[in-house]
Amino acid sequence: MSKEMTNSGNVPTGRGRLLVTGAAGALGRVLRQALQSDVGPQKEWQHLRLSGRSPIGDLQDFEESVACNLADREAMEKLLVGVDAVVHLGGQAVESPFEDICESNIKGVFNLYEAARLAGCSRIVFASSNHVTGCYDQGEQISPDMPARPDGYYGASKLFAEGLAQMYFDRYGIETVNLRLGSVIPKPEDRRGLSTWLSYPDFIRLTHASLRAKNVGCLTVYGVSANTQKWWSGLGWDKIGYEPQDNAEAWRAEIENKVFPAGSMMAKKQGGSFLGLGPFPKAD
CB of 107 to ligand 15L, least distance (A): 18
The answer to whether 6 contacts ligand 15L (rule: CB under 6 A) is no
Strand order in the sheet with 123-129: 63-67, 47-52, 17-21, 85-88, 123-129, 175-181, 218-223
Give whichever of 21 and 196 is closer to ligand 15L, judged by the CB atom: 196
The answer to whether 265 contacts ligand 15L (rule: CB under 6 A) is no
CB of 145 to ligand 15L, least distance (A): 20
Of 96, 104, 176, 196, which one interacts with ligand 15L (CB under 6 A)? 196
113 burial level (CB within 10 Å; 0-12, 13-18, 19+) = buried
| Maximum distance among all Cα pairs of the chain, rounded to whole angstroms | 60
Give whichever of 16 and 182 is closer to ligand 15L, judged by the CB atom: 182
Give whichever of 25 and 236 is closer to ligand 15L, judged by the CB atom: 25
Catalytic residue among 153, 154, 168, 222: 154
CB of 178 to ligand 15L, least distance (A): 12
**Residue 154 a catalytic site member:** yes
Contact of 114 with 172, CB cutoff 8 Å? no
Q: Measure Cα distances from 249 to 71, 212, 252 in Å.
A: 40, 29, 5
At 238, which helix (H) or strand (E)? helix 237-240
Of 183, 199, 207, 220, which one interacts with ligand 15L (CB under 6 A)? 183
Instruction: Show the binding pattern over residues 9-48: x = contacts ligand 15L (CB under 6 A), - = does not.
Output: ----------------------------------------
CB of 196 to ligand 15L, least distance (A): 5
Give whichever of 59 and 226 is closer to ligand 15L, judged by the CB atom: 226
CB of 130 to ligand 15L, least distance (A): 5
Radius of gyration of the chain (CA): 19
58 burial level (CB within 10 Å; 0-12, 13-18, 19+) = exposed
The answer to whether 93 contacts ligand 15L (rule: CB under 6 A) is yes
The answer to whether 258 contacts ligand 15L (rule: CB under 6 A) is no
**Residue 18 β-bridge partners:** 48, 85
Q: How many angstroms separate the CA atoms of 256 and 258, rounded?
A: 6
The answer to whether 186 contacts ligand 15L (rule: CB under 6 A) is no
Q: How many angstroms separate the CA atoms of 125 and 154, rounded?
A: 18
Is the bond preceding 186 in cis, omega lying within 30 degrees of 0?
no
Per CB under 6 A, contacts with ligand 15L among 108-167 are: 129-131
Instruction: Tell me the catalytic residues.
Output: 154
| Interface positions with ligand 15L (CB under 6 A) | 93-94, 129-131, 181, 183, 196
